[in-house]
Amino acid sequence: MVFEKWMAVGFSVVLIFVCGSIFAEEKAAVTAGVEVKRSEPDWKTKGCVVETKAQMVYDLNGNGWLEPDEAKKYLNDRYHKIFNYADTGVDSDLLRAYDTNANGAIDPREAQAIREDCQN
C-alpha cells in the first residue's frame, strides 16, 4: 500500500476521516508496537455522519448525523458485539478510525481503544 510506504520513509501524512482523525505517526507507532497517546476522536465533540443501516438505529432524531451521545452508544454496543459475537468488520469511517492497522477488522487492542473512548 502506498500509504504504508510513505510512513516507512517518514513523511508526516494525516489521515482525515469524517468521524475521527488518525495521525500517520500514531499509525506507524502502532505498527511498530510502540505505545502512544491517542488524540481525542472527533465523534466525541462533533459527532459523525450516518453511513450504515446499523448506525441509523442510533440516529434518534433522524437527521442523518450521529450526535456525540448517539455515536458513543453505537460504539459501546459495537464493542460488545466484537467480543460477544466476533463482529469485527469495519464498515464505516467511525470504525475505520479505530482500525489502526488497516486490516478491515477491529482486533482486541483496537476494541480496547473503543472501550476507553466510550468510558471517558
Look up residue 80 and give its three cell numbers: 460488545
Cα separation, 56 vs 35, in Å, equals 34
pLDDT < 70 stretches in the chain: 1-38
Contact 106, 90 (CB under 8 A): yes
Prediction pTM value: 0.68
Q: Alpha-carbon distance 66 to 64, whole Å?
A: 7
User: Distance between CA atoms of 27 and 25, rounded to whole angstroms?
Assistant: 5
d(CA 94, CA 18): 7
Please report, for the chain, the start and end positions of each structural domain, with discontinuous segments joined by +: 2-119
